[in-house]
């Protein structure tokens, strides 16, 4: 298991300090897509630049998921 962090960015980043343990980069990317779906439902069209940036435990950026495509 690896720890992945899901930072919210729209100009000013909101850091994920706890992270989530997942088995792979692919699982982390899938999780970021689920988070984006949840944000779209809870805050429809609040910020067109909002994205979720997936960072692995070594600090490497794995993926960027645009919340409002």
The pLDDT assigned to 22 comes to 97
**pLDDT given for residue 10 in this prediction:** 81
Distance in angstroms (rounded) separating the CA atoms of residues 9 and 66: 10
Spatial contact of 28 and 22, defined as CB atoms under 8 Å apart? yes
- Note whether 24 and 53 are within 8 A (CB): no
pLDDT for res 48: 83
Query: What's the pTM?
Result: 0.88
Q: What is the pLDDT of residue 34?
A: 97
pLDDT at 47: 78
- Residues (pLDDT < 70) of the chain are none
Q: How far apart are CA 18 and CA 46, in angstroms?
A: 25
Q: Residue 12 has what pLDDT?
A: 74
What are the b/e assignments for 57-67, b being 16+ CB within 10 Å?
Answer: eeeeebbebeb
Domain of 62 in residue numbering reads as 2-66
> Count of domains in the chain?
1
């Amino acid at each position: 298991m690896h720890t992945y962090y899901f930072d919210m960015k729209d100009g000013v980043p909101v850091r994920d300090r706890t992270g989530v343990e997942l088995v792979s980069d692919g699982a982390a990317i899938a999780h970021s897509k689920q988070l984006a779906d949840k944000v779209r439902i809870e805050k429809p069209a609040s910020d067109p630049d909002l994205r979720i940036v997936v960072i692995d435990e070594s600090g490497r950026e794995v993926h960027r998921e645009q919340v409002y495509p």
